[in-house]
Structure 1
Amino acid sequence: MSNPATAIFAERESEVRSYCRNWPVVFDTSKGPYQTTEDGERYTDFFSGAGALNYGHNNDILKEALIEYVSRDGVTHSMDMHTKAKREFLEAFTELILEPRGMTHKIQFPGPTGTNAVETALKTARKATGREDVVHFTNAFHGMTLGSLAVTGNAFKRAGAGTPLYHATAAPYDDYIVGETSDFAWLKRIWADSGSGTSLPAAVIVETVQGEGGLKAARGEWLKELQDLCREYGVLMIVDDVQAGCGRTGTFFSFEDFGLDPDIITLSKSISGYGLPMALTLMKPEIDDWEPGEHNGTFRGHNPAFVTGAKALRTYWADDTLEKNIAARAQELTERLEVLAGLAEGSELRGRGLLSGVAFADLEVAEKIAKAAFARKLLVETSGPSSEVVKIMPPLTITKDELAAGLDQLEDATREVLGAPARATA
């Protein structure tokens, strides 16, 4: 039976639409960790705009700054001209993020999305080194434009390009083969051998946690050896922190605990703080070889995002309050997910921090759980090459009680799908 409330979407919107097919309701308002439909039904949101809403929906602090800016006719669009809003963002990012971490990276505003940041990173690496190829990893996801797709592993998404994808080489991600750093033996061998038939690449691009690729989290020693290998051969290291960054794994950058010093870093999703389009490509000064205007984009000067982004940094990253909340909620999430993993043989916990989930051996289970969760008014997505992982991404600002209530919904859904005994309640 057709639904009048959604008829216009089916009639006029492209067949490419996806999330709305799994969540066939019409949302109207949102607040914190919740979205509410036009019929007044409230859903707990453990999707967070695919990680674009780390501080929750319509965060009051950020909303106040945005309303004040728009109300006084602050500049909205500025290309790469100087504006007060951009200056205040750059000052906040330098003072609160770069300088405390001893980072000298230059900041490029490449356009509004994560794939813009990745495309810029790839072009920067190729321009700085004069080399063409880029090494990426199995099950990686870096975006949907052609350069980003070339370094993405998912066959379904790659096929959408409709053209061959060039100048990229896949290598095994951590634990893809034997789970040891000896996995790099192949790369080391072909980079060292002029007769290998493989050119030395411009860069390696890596996610510390593969958000779309199944929540595989690389070990610190694996990442460190990758960096050492890159340094040895003069290959640039790009860390794609579009989804795992901005606090999602516990620290602002996902690589901080591992002693990494990437040459290039990509950020997007939650860097604006409010879900507004914004992306950054960070690069060490010595590889910032651009000529003025050589790479540009109409929406690289989205000032409302500068405003909310600066406010988010000064509100949540001036001290360790948010990091402590993430750590506490992440521990609670891990404990509950371990219970769910224990309900199905062969399942395992995946991810880090508040980017975590459960991978199921039965490849059909995760999508069934997501559907059952939606019936209980909980939004969760799946991840992995076969959508075998239930993926949990609540707001970083979520409270203990809000998280627990959502996890109760998830556990009830999981037990129903697996035919396990009902959850014990007080």
Structure 2
Amino acid sequence: MDIYEQLESNVRGYCRSFPVTFSRARNAVLTDTDGNDYIDFLGGAGTLNYGHNNPAFKEALIDYIQSDSVTHGLDMHTEAKTAFLQAFNEHILKPRKMDYKIQFTGPTGTNAVEAALKIVRKNTGRQTVVSFTNGFHGVTQGAVAVTANSYYKNAVGMPLPGVQFMPYDGYLGDFNTLHYFEKALQDKSSGLGHPAAVIVECIQGEGGLNAASEAWLLGLQALCKRYDMLLIVDDIQAGCGRSGTFFSFEEFGLQPDVITLSKSLSGYGLPMAVVLMKEELDTWKPGEHNGTFRGNNHAFVTARKAIETYWADDSFSKSVKHKAHVLRQRLKEIQAEHGGQLKHKGRGIMQGLECADGKLANRITELAFERGLIIETSGSDGQVVKILTPLTIEEDLLLKGLDILDSCIGDVMSELVSKAS
């Protein structure tokens, strides 16, 4: 580990929680250089929905590389890009009756958010974008402006204008926060003005697994239409099947004006991001938002294979929903075991347990790592133990991981009782 202390920046994060050197990975298992196996409940923070080294994707990528096909092509046409666009249109857009243009941005999710913010401002001629409490959208300057957590905002070191925050669904208990939002829109002295757009996550991943209700999301869409605001759904972590459907908003019938996708889009952990926008919003001039790596052909290959393998019919979606049900039931059992000291959060295979504070949640995840389970926390205080396992995890391995988590929670709760007495 000395080489990391000597050379790598202090900004490194995940390696501090999981201080070993990993050498191999397959589906939902990571192996370190000492041969120890770990069940992966982190899944690349939502990047590995189809598991580590998915064999179907690996074979397609190796064949592509060995054929001397194009690796890097800026935004030029390539066979790999053509095949991806055809697959995405055939298996994702058309079945959902979605009429969107696709913009390939730089390969990170935060770059997709930057592009989305620019295009809504360009189309409306207005500057303010409304974001929500506990929202996370990235850490580049525009994306971190619409990110709520002060830890990330303070790192910028300067004011971040052009954003107003509103309370997310459930932030004020049973009160419908859209009533407050609409009141602010109506009141010329609220300080809100007339926003260009709203950006929202249907399930807040980094924000603590807060899942907005169908009624609230449909109400937000209606509010945007009434007050001439564009609706951006950030589906970077919750998309690509994580909720049980390809998009996290599908089952609610939401029709966003703009959608951002990244993380598991490539299927293989390769960097790739896109912005989907309604055709009338595609007012970009050539090269107005660009980047050297907006044509990751290796990612196009594996993304196409992921779509054709898992989204040509509804069998994968059904399997994800089944595992999500298993996960929910087991977490509810664990919650019940501890008499209301834990709170179930999230939906799909994006669920977890909220603890009293971040210190408690962190102790649980530390102990879990010692016992062969990789799992992280989220929330404003890191108080939510968060499960983002690959969607392809074998059910017996999912249950084994949950048993480990259960034992860790039980032991940490016992420690608290012992200290209190």
Taking structure 2 as the reference length, the TM-score comes to: 0.97
**SS in structure 2 opposite 1:364?**
helix
**SS in structure 2 opposite 1:350?**
strand
Matched to 1:394, the amino acid is T
Aligned twin of 1:401: 396
- Match for 2:211 among 213, 217, 234? 217
Question: Matched residues in 1 for 2:110 and 2:163: separation?
Answer: 16
Aligned twin of 2:383: 388
Aligned twin of 1:351: 346
- Match for 2:44 among 18, 33, 49? 49
Map 1:19-418 to 2 at 5 A: 19-181=14-176, 183-344=177-338, 345-418=340-413
Give the CA deviation at 1:103: 0.5
Question: Matched residues in 1 for 2:187 and 2:159: separation?
Answer: 27
Question: Matched residues in 1 for 2:408 and 2:239: separation?
Answer: 29
Matched to 1:102, the amino acid is K
**SS in structure 2 opposite 1:90?**
helix
Q: Contact 2:263–2:269 at 8 Å: present in 1 too?
A: yes
Indicate the RMSD between aligned Cα atoms, in angstroms: 1.1
Matched to 2:308, the amino acid is R
**SS in structure 2 opposite 1:179?**
coil
Of all paired residues, the percent bearing the same amino acid is 54
Question: Matched residues in 1 for 2:410 and 2:192: separation?
Answer: 50
Describe the superposition over 1:346-373 as per-residue Cα deviations: whole angstroms up to 9, x where unpaired: 3211001100000012442111110010
CA change 1:405–1:197 in 2 (3 A) is closer
Matched to 1:290, the amino acid is W
Q: Contact 2:81–2:297 at 8 Å: present in 1 too?
A: yes
Question: Matched residues in 1 for 2:24 and 2:5: separation?
Answer: 22
Give the CA deviation at 1:409: 1.3
Describe the superposition over 1:294-346 as per-residue Cα deviations: whole angstroms up to 9, x where unpaired: 11011000000000000000000001111111011111111111122224333
Matched to 1:142, the amino acid is H
Q: Contact 1:113–1:279 at 8 Å: present in 2 too?
A: yes
Verify: 1:419 aligned to 2:414, yes or no: yes
Question: Matched residues in 1 for 2:200 and 2:189: separation?
Answer: 26
- Give the unaligned 5+ runs of structure 2: 416-421
Give the CA deviation at 1:195: 4.6
> Which aligned runs of 4 or more in structure 1 are off by greater than 4 angstroms?
none
CA change 1:163–1:64 in 2 (3 A) is same
**SS in structure 1 opposite 2:203?**
coil
Question: Matched residues in 1 for 2:357 and 2:101: separation?
Answer: 45
Instruction: Name whichever of 402-411 and 73-82 sits farther off.
Output: 402-411
Q: Contact 2:357–2:381 at 8 Å: present in 1 too?
A: no
Question: Matched residues in 2 for 1:378 and 1:119: separation?
Answer: 34
Q: Contact 1:31–1:56 at 8 Å: present in 2 too?
A: yes
Task: Report the count of equivalent residues.
Answer: 414
Give the CA deviation at 1:192: 2.7
**SS in structure 2 opposite 1:10?**
helix
Question: Matched residues in 2 for 1:222 and 1:237: separation?
Answer: 14
Matched to 2:53, the amino acid is N
Q: Contact 1:180–1:222 at 8 Å: present in 2 too?
A: no
Matched to 1:408, the amino acid is D
Taking structure 1 as the reference length, the TM-score comes to: 0.95
Matched to 1:273, the amino acid is G
Describe the superposition over 1:118-168 as per-residue Cα deviations: whole angstroms up to 9, x where unpaired: 001100100011100000000100001011111011011111111111100
Give the CA deviation at 1:259: 1.2
Aligned twin of 2:419: none
